[in-house]
Amino acid sequence: MRDPIAGTAMELARVTVMSPWGFASLAFLLAFALAALLLRGRLRATTSVAALAAALLCTFVALDVAGPKATAAQMRRDADANVTAAREALAWGFNVEVRTELDQAEAAFRRIGARDGLGRVQLTRGDLERLQGRLAEARTRYAAAAQQLTTLNHGEAATAFLRLGQMETALGDVPAARKALTQAIALYRRNEDSSGEAQAKLADGILARQGASLAEASALLREAAALFAGQNDLLGEARAMLELAQLSQMLVQATEADQRADLASGLFERANVTFGVALAHLVKADNLVDKEHAEAAENELNEAAAIIQSLPEPIAAAAHFLGLPAVEALRVRGDTDELDANIAAFPDYQIEARTLLNDIGVRIDRSRWDASRAH
């Protein structure tokens, strides 16, 4: 537990000693010691008293000047800790705790005028709204965070643009999504953040593929796959390879589509993401349907369906695949009534993961129908 009194006292001592007045106080104390050692008689007494008085005066001034600075510095550290705690609670689905931590952080950041801190609070509030399924509100938070953090040239501006692009995608505004993702890519590259750049290129490549901008999609997805591989990010590389497999299928490159789906499946297995393995089976099934290999397609579909049905927490698995908090539902550290009320307040929690699961079910049914017609 953080002790604000002890923390402020330590910061006050540090700021006092390191200030110009603090250095002056130390110098006069040194003069006092030298006078006591080297001088004699009335001169020693006069010099010692003068040096000690000057040291005390400088110390009082240093304390007076350092007090507000020390308090602000400690408030900053506590507020930063609140944001960290909020993000940790978010990863476990404790949305009520996230709000509490962010409210405390925002109050402190406003008091000390820390605009970068307020931008980070907005970014994390966007993550909270996203978890709770309020995507329009999340988009508003991410847009505000992107504007604030970009103005300050803050490193997390790139993440704000990435998530803004993801929200625009979820809400169906493709031009706005691609604009935000382009900005995210540029900022991540400037920050030399290969992991973030890969995430942004993957998101942009998916949009390009879905919009039939196939050459652009190929370039973005290949670059994303290479960046993920360089970071040893198996899940990211697998997702990029899966998208490339679907791209090959759109280009009627059946052999390459199968090869890429197999590569993606292997990467998903190494990453222990069986949800992704199911999606690789779906890509292979669609490819087989296109080639009118109905029985083989049905086998792939059965494999995919079996994996999805075997997942103990399918929402959490889908969320993990998407890079979201891997939780099945919202959580509270309280009784069942509090939990029920929390979930009732946000019925669309984890809506992106739940939408993905629904889309997979529809896709399996459609592919089964297509396979039956191919007999």
The answer, yes or no, to whether residue 36 has pLDDT greater than 70, is no
Kindly give the residue spans of alpha helices, DSSP state H, lying in the chain. 4-18, 20-38, 41-91, 95-112, 115-131, 135-151, 157-170, 174-190, 194-210, 214-230, 234-250, 254-270, 274-290, 294-310, 314-322, 336-345, 351-373
Q: Any idea where the domains of the chain sit in the sequence?
A: 1-91, 273-375
> Whole-angstrom Cα distance, residue 15 to residue 229?
45
Rounded to 10 deg, the angle between the 234-250 and 194-210 helix axes is 20
User: What pTM did the predictor assign?
Assistant: 0.81
Tell me how far CA of residue 22 lies from CA of 29, 52, 112, 160, in angstroms.
11, 14, 24, 41
Mean pLDDT, residues 89-107: 97
The string of pLDDT tens digits covering residues 178-212 is: 999 999 999 999 999 999 999 999 999 999 999 98
Tell me how far CA of residue 338 lies from CA of 25, 332, 335, 343, 345, in angstroms.
57, 7, 6, 9, 11
Q: How far is CA 46 from the centre of its chain?
A: 64
Contact 124, 80 (CB under 8 A): no
Compute the mean pLDDT over every residue in the chain, rounded to the nearest whole number. Answer: 87
* High-pLDDT (> 70) share of the chain, %: 80
Per-residue pLDDT at 140? 98
Instruction: Give the pLDDT band of residue 27 (cuts 50, 70, 90).
Output: low
Mean pLDDT, residues 6-17: 46
Instruction: Give the pLDDT band of residue 37 (cuts 50, 70, 90).
Output: low
